[in-house]
Every structure is written in structure tokens, then in C-alpha cells.
Amino acid sequence: MAVIEVDRLVKRYGDKIAVDGASLRVEAGEIVALLGPNGAGKSTMVNVMTGFLDRNGGEVHVLGEDPAHADRDWRDRVGVVMQDISVVGELTVRESLTHFATFYRAPRDVAELITAVGLDDKAGVRASRLSGGQRRRLDVAMGLIGRPELVFLDEPTTGFDPEVRRQFWQLIETIRDDGASVLLTTHYLEEAEALADRAVVLSGGKVVAEGPPSSLGGRDVEPSVVHWTEHGEARSVSTDTPTSTIVELARRFGGEVPDLVVARPSLEDVYLRLIGAEHVAHGGVE
């Protein structure tokens, strides 16, 4: 069963087209990552799917309903974490969550959730006095408090340090183990690789590739590159059979091959190729 079905979505701002016929499908229990450079249309899609933006064309069904006409039951089942959605600065972490928990039929336990997002020692601190990363974790907790069946996470780990990011990944795994589905937009490719069952790459408002991160864009069938050093010089060869290349090299060197590396194309290599060279020329991936 699909929890999200988007068919040829079109969204314009004035005469600028933000989403140009993108389609997307998320099955129940799946974690799907929406990747793409700034301005690719990720946030616009999330805003349409959460009922915050009207669309100009296409069909959108989220939990079987059109989010443009979302009712209260639907809101009870959907969690939203977005960049421009905030909390009241005067309330503490615990107060905010306790208050919002009363809005839902079957909310999560406030204390457990505070622990899960790593805010135990900040539970009594007002939101306005949290650091950027702590505030973001509170935003995530606010999106999860209602025990949603489907969670939208729009760049949830921006501003997290690596350790907290890993904790957050565990939290998302826990949510999925509870049976929830997750649509995640992110700039971090390692995040998509660690979490997502499937990644969808958006560029210029169009879907340019989709699949499991391990095989995205034919990554799994591309040749490997074997690197080594010979006569003080860096050498490399692209090959579909890296093992026999190494055996041959080992024979040639009579043992250890200096600086031997076998590289599969990284998700980043594939991603950069997919979104096109112009983004690379303009300062790389964001």
C-alpha cells in the first residue's frame, strides 16, 4: 500500500516553475530520501504534500487523501518537521511537548521523546535559549509527538554535529520499526545512504533518478577503479573485474601492492553526475 502517491505534480511561482511534472511514490514502512540541490523543488514538493501549498497540476494523495483538503483526522496521522515551522520561544522543551501532546489522540511519551532526541539536560530550558542544533532537535520531537504514521522531515539534521546526527538516524530507525513511513529531504548524501530504502533525485523540478542508494544511477553496475603507486607515480585503472586486476598486480609486485585502493563509485559521484555539471561549477553540492 502506498502512503504517498504524487503523479506529475506541477507547481509554479509566478512564471517560474518550481516542480515540473515530478512523480513520487512511498510505500508503507519505507524511508525515502528526496535529494537535490537548492532550488530543485524539494521543499515545494513537501509543502504541497503537507497541505501548505496549492498546486497547479497533477494528482497528490497522501494517506489516501488529497492534502489540499486535509482534515483533522489526517493531521493526527501526519508529522511535519520543516525549516520554517517553529515553537514558542517562551516555553521550555518539556512544556512545548506536553502542550502539543494534548492535541493528538495517541501521543508519544514526552519524557521518552526528549531522551530520544538527546535533550534530557535541556528539558527545562526555554526554546529561545537553545542552540540552533538543539532547537532543531526540539522541532523534530514536535513533529513526532503525535505518533504519526507518516513523517515529513525537511532537512532535519542541518546544523547537527556528526554524533548527534548518528543519534538522530537511530531515532528514525526506531520510528520505522514502529511502522511509520518517512519522507526525508536532505543535503547529506551519507544520510540518505544510511537511512533511505530508496532515494529520489530531483533537479530543476524533475525527477532525474530513483532507486536504492546502493544502485542509484547504475552505481552498482559501474566499473570499479583500482588505484596503486608504481615507480613513485599514482596509477589507476577502471575495471569490471577488480579482483583479477589485483591478483595480476600482486604477481607483478611479488606481494604487497603499494597504496592499493579499490573504489566503487560513491553516491556523491553518481549524484553530482545526475544533477548535472552546472551545479558543480557553481560551488558544488549543498
Partner 1 sequence: MVEIRIYLRNPAAVGFTLAFPLMMLVLFASVFHGKVKGTDIDYSQVFVAGIIGSSIMSVSFVGLATGIVVDRDAGVLRRLATTPVPRSAYFIGKMISSLALAFLGTVVCMIAGAVLFGLDLPTSPGRWITFVWVLVLGVGAATAMAVVVGGRITSPKSAPAVVNLPFVALQFVSGVFVPPDQLPKGLYQAAGIFPLRWIGQGMRSVFLPDAFQQVEPTGSWQHPMVALVLAGWIVFGLVAARLTFRWFDRH
Site string for partner 1, 21-50 (x = CB under 8 A): -----------------------------x
**Contact region with partner 1 (CB under 8 A), list: 97-105, 168-176, 203-211, 270-278:** 97-105
**Contact region with partner 1 (CB under 8 A), list: 18-26, 91-99, 197-205, 252-260:** 91-99
3, 80, 114, 138: which one binds partner 1 (CB under 8 A): 80
CA-based angle 133:179:182, to the nearest 5?
Answer: 45
Is 175 near partner 1 (CB under 8 A)? no
Helix, strand, coil shares, percent, the chain, to 5:
35, 30, 35
25, 75, 94, 206: which one binds partner 1 (CB under 8 A): 75
CB of 39 to partner 1, least distance (A): 18
CB of 125 to partner 1, least distance (A): 13
Q: State the angle between helix axes of 132-144 and 162-177 in degrees (0 to 180), rounded to the nearest 10.
A: 0
Cβ within 8 Å of residue 283, ≥6 positions away: none
Is the separation of the CB atoms in 267 and 217 below 8 Å?
no
Question: How many angstroms separate the Cα of 198 from the Cα of each of 25, 66, 97, 138, 185?
Answer: 10, 23, 31, 26, 12
CB of 73 to partner 1, least distance (A): 7
Q: Is the dihedral of CA 53, 54, 59, 62 positive or negative?
A: positive
CB of 19 to partner 1, least distance (A): 14
Grid cell listed for 163: 554524533
Which residues of the shown chain bind partner 1 in the complex (CB under 8 A)? 13, 50, 52-54, 72-73, 75-76, 78-80, 82, 84-91, 95, 99-100, 103-105, 126, 142-143, 146
